[in-house]
Structure 1
Amino acid sequence: MRIFLPGLCGRATVVPRVVLPVVLLAVCTAVLPLSPAAAGPGPLPAGPSPRAGLRTSAGGGSVTSLPLAGPHRSAAGRALAPRTTGRFELLGVTWDGPAHAFADGTVRIRTRDAATGVWRGWQRLDADGEDGPDTPAAAEGARRAGTAPLWTGPSDGVAVEVTAGPAGPPPGLRVELVDPGRGAESSAARTRPAEPAGGGRRTGDQAPRPEIVTRAGWGADESVRESGFVYTGQVRAVFVHHTATATAYDCADAPRVIRAIYQYHVQSNGWRDIGYNFLVDRCGTVYEGRAGGTDLPVHGAHTLGFNTDSAGVAAIGTYVEDVPPPELLTGLARVSAWKLGLTGRDAAGHVKLVSGSSASRYPAGTTVTFDAVSGHRDGFATECPGAALYPQLPAIRTEAARLQGRVDTPVTP
């Protein structure tokens, strides 16, 4: 049986019916008709990545990857009707090749609320590819570039509009629909308890460890990521991010957001694990990110060009206009103070790092001086961690230094 889909910029498209949801992408300058991914074994219809199709994870999570065929030219364009899909809560668009392959392109999406059936307004996805590893591909798996992931909440319908840049659409364009599921079951400890202040720590450098929700605590499916670990040198800097996902969330739902980001980073982008070393929710709860040991210098994929000798800490939410809650700022200060203090680093000090990628703000090999607690935008041309969070970094540094015993006056970030 086949389904007739009317009007892709004045052209009709016929696609085979499969069990996966059908998503339409409209382009008026370059039209990219959607070809559903194979639900089982067999050749993939677009792109070289082996990650296309429906990928599942323990606890009911899944990522549906829908390859795009094309491009085809059309003289006219018009609005494209939204389509019903399976349930998802986060989405993004990925492609083969480097992030700059989609230079000056735009992606807009519209989703339907699964609970109310109401279609939300159009939203634009960030196609800058600002997060990511700067190690060779062999160290991070079969990588793909992609937009920043967008948290939509429970959704069951989507429309996408892709407009290619001057170079045309990159190969292997795919829509990624992520359902975080209920999380994998694990017998491992769900939290790492906080250390009491002054509990045997060295004055002036090592702050007490905050309570940390482990990967088991947020329901990570450990079979999804790469099995090994990659370590860097001593962590000398912390880069603060925001996840650019919804801000007005219930903190009890933060593990769902983290699972969705994890699945997008690994199953859609092809990274070895979630990119961030830690995440902090709006209630100040700290979560373990990339696996390998919270005390150890795990090599992350968070600040392109400066993933070496650093840790990435992401505030869950979008803090461009939304003001970060005090609890979130305190959580960022606590984990930064503890992580830097493990090697005696002053959270209010400075550090020199060497750029590992010319796609960062600085050519590869350039030595750059950073604050020990810096923002993502300090190393990459991005607004991250947001116009509302970035100005709070000086107060976060001061509070982190106080927690290390270097500043006597309490500071509320």
Structure 2
Amino acid sequence: MRGFPASSIGVTCAAALALPLAPPAAAATSSSTPPSSTPPSSTPPSSTPPSSAPPTAGAGPRSGAYVPGSTRSLPLAHLARDRAPGAAEQGLTRRDVRPFSLVGVVWDRPTAALHGRVEVRTRAAATGIWSGWKELETHNADHAADPGTRESTSGGVRGATAPLWAGESDGVEVRVRSEKATGADRSAPAAARLPTGLRLELVDPGKGVPPGTGRARTGAARSVPAGRKAKPHVGARPGIITRRGWGADETLREKGAVYTKRVKTAFVHHSDTGNDYTCSQAPSVIRGIYRYHVGSMGWRDLGYSFLVDKCGKIYEGRAGGVSKPVLGAHTRGFNSNSTGIAVLGTYSAKEPSSAALKAIARLTAWKVGRYGMNPRGKTYLKSGGGNLYPKGRKVRLNVISGHRDGFATGCPGERLYDRLGSVRSKAGKYQGR
């Protein structure tokens, strides 16, 4: 989901989605430990002892008590440190916090671009070792509902970085620094170019919803077995782990689902959450992304239609039925009549696994085949508005496209994008073509 800076600067990304059942975490802060204005230590992370302050008490957005499976939202403060003249910098100094596994930064207005650099480092709960600084992707508005739709005009939607999977952690430090903008923004002072309301989101994905509890609407807590071809040129349905299977808390999202007419295109993404996860952690990663999309960004549900881990397991994304044309929020401008498949990880420089590529091929052979589409072919979609194509333009796209084909972005990463040709070929074979 890495955007091209030159393209992203001019985009007013009215990112998506109708109000969730509960207010986003950023709207209510757990503030048992206020941000510090003291400069962080310059000692390297590996040799710096953890903060002597007690762990912060509030993991949930409303309560001061730690709640597994919740989000803690902390406002960023101006940092007093040497910096370039006129530069703006906000962050949080190194501190102990309650356990979390996924981290991101949000701000008030989804149309406000963050012209700058966002970096975090975290402390592993198991070892007490601090990571190095890791950069969060700031150009993240390419994943959103189409402009002008009910979903995109919700007052609860926020701007946000891509989330980063850190693994179970109990310490964090963050810094956000403005950079010189280009084009129409050049005359604005640097300090004004950091969006208002910057907050750090610390997501604890929890353990999931035990089978037999919660409101799983789309099946049992197991993979759906593959079946025979329903008719010519429809691939066999692959095993799909349902929302209950990965532990979705159905009380978080908005009720119901919105549908389009059909599925003509499958857009392939990477989650850009990093590659430091094991396959057994994939459900936790997805729960973290789900909470971030709904609770932190203000979306109505998880944005992707499906997710695939590096071991080739396929997971149901947005609720509404895996076989139905559910309207997602994965490709701004082209969500109608399409489906979005996100491979967990970052594939700008790392090669995707053969298992993940095979899973994409099997999934698309079945999903687009249900609507008579040839995964080796091309089709037309009408743009809902974006930074590549104006609203209303009919655009010729591959039936299996990369996110960047519909929006100026680096997603799904150069390495994954380069493999889509082989995915199309495999998917065609799975359809018997």
Q: Same fold (TM over 0.5)?
A: yes
Task: Check the 8 A contact 1:55/1:62 in 2, yes or no.
Answer: no
1:121 aligns to what SS in structure 2? coil
Per-residue displacement from partner, 1:195-226 (whole Å, max 9, x unpaired)?
3334xx2112x111001000000000000000
Task: Check the 8 A contact 1:53/1:66 in 2, yes or no.
Answer: no
Distance, in Å, in 1 between the alignment partners of 2:132 and 2:151 is 39
* Structure 1 pair 21–338 and aligned structure 2 pair: CA distance change class (3 A): farther
**CA apart distance, 1:56:** 10
1:300 matched residue in structure 2? 328
1:91 matched residue in structure 2? 103
**CA apart distance, 1:395:** 0.5
2:414 matched residue in structure 1? 387
1:122 matched residue in structure 2? 133
- Aligned AA for 2:238? P
> Quick check: 396-405 or 218-227, which moved more?
396-405
- Aligned AA for 1:112? R
- Normalised to the residue count of structure 1, the TM-score between the two structures is 0.81
**Which runs of structure 2 are paired with 1:123-202 in the superposition (5 Å)?**
123-129=134-140, 130-134=142-146, 136=148, 138-139=150-151, 141=154, 142-165=156-179, 166=190, 167-187=192-212, 189-198=220-229, 201-202=230-231
- Aligned AA for 2:397? F
1:256 matched residue in structure 2? 284
* Structure 1 pair 118–289 and aligned structure 2 pair: CA distance change class (3 A): same
Task: Check the 8 A contact 1:25/1:162 in 2, yes or no.
Answer: no
**CA apart distance, 1:397:** 0.5
Distance, in Å, in 2 between the alignment partners of 1:307 and 1:369 is 15
Task: Check the 8 A contact 1:60/1:183 in 2, yes or no.
Answer: no
Distance, in Å, in 2 between the alignment partners of 1:386 and 1:61 is 30
**Which runs of structure 2 are paired with 1:12-411 in the superposition (5 Å)?**
20-21=32-33, 60-68=68-76, 76-77=82-83, 81-99=93-111, 101-129=112-140, 130-134=142-146, 136=148, 138-139=150-151, 141=154, 142-165=156-179, 166=190, 167-187=192-212, 189-198=220-229, 201-204=230-233, 206-358=234-386, 360-406=387-433
**CA apart distance, 1:383:** 1.5
Distance, in Å, in 2 between the alignment partners of 1:119 and 1:53 is 28
> Quick check: 389-398 or 60-69, which moved more?
60-69
**CA apart distance, 1:296:** 0.6
Per-residue displacement from partner, 1:275-327 (whole Å, max 9, x unpaired)?
00000111111100000011111110111111111100011111122221111
Distance, in Å, in 2 between the alignment partners of 1:213 and 1:75 is 48
Higher relative contact order (CA 8 A, sep 6+): 2
Tell me, which stretches of 5 or more residues in structure 2 are unaligned? 1-29, 40-55, 84-88, 180-189, 213-218
Per-residue displacement from partner, 1:380-409 (whole Å, max 9, x unpaired)?
222111121111100101111111111xxx
Task: Check the 8 A contact 1:102/1:164 in 2, yes or no.
Answer: no
2:193 aligns to what SS in structure 1? coil
Q: What is the identity percentage for the equivalent residue pairs of Structure 1 and Structure 2?
A: 46
Task: Check the 8 A contact 1:26/1:162 in 2, yes or no.
Answer: no
Distance, in Å, in 2 between the alignment partners of 1:269 and 1:202 is 41
Task: Check the 8 A contact 2:103/2:203 in 1, yes or no.
Answer: yes
- Aligned AA for 2:414? A
Tell me how large the CA RMSD over aligned residues is: 3.0
- Aligned AA for 2:207? R
Give the length in aligned residue pairs.
364
Structure in which a larger fraction of residues adopt strand? 1
- Normalised to the residue count of structure 2, the TM-score between the two structures is 0.77
1:6 matched residue in structure 2? none
* Structure 1 pair 287–20 and aligned structure 2 pair: CA distance change class (3 A): farther
- Aligned AA for 1:168? R
Distance, in Å, in 2 between the alignment partners of 1:248 and 1:55 is 30
Per-residue displacement from partner, 1:74-133 (whole Å, max 9, x unpaired)?
68459985111111100100111124x234222111111111111111111111022122
Per-residue displacement from partner, 1:9-31 (whole Å, max 9, x unpaired)?
xxxxxxxxx7645555899xxxx
Task: Check the 8 A contact 1:55/1:63 in 2, yes or no.
Answer: no
Tell me, which stretches of 5 or more residues in structure 1 are unaligned? 1-17, 28-36, 41-50, 407-413
1:11 matched residue in structure 2? none
Task: Check the 8 A contact 1:63/1:178 in 2, yes or no.
Answer: yes
Task: Check the 8 A contact 2:162/2:273 in 1, yes or no.
Answer: no
Distance, in Å, in 2 between the alignment partners of 1:306 and 1:80 is 37
**CA apart distance, 1:138:** 4.2
* Structure 1 pair 389–54 and aligned structure 2 pair: CA distance change class (3 A): farther
**CA apart distance, 1:246:** 3.1
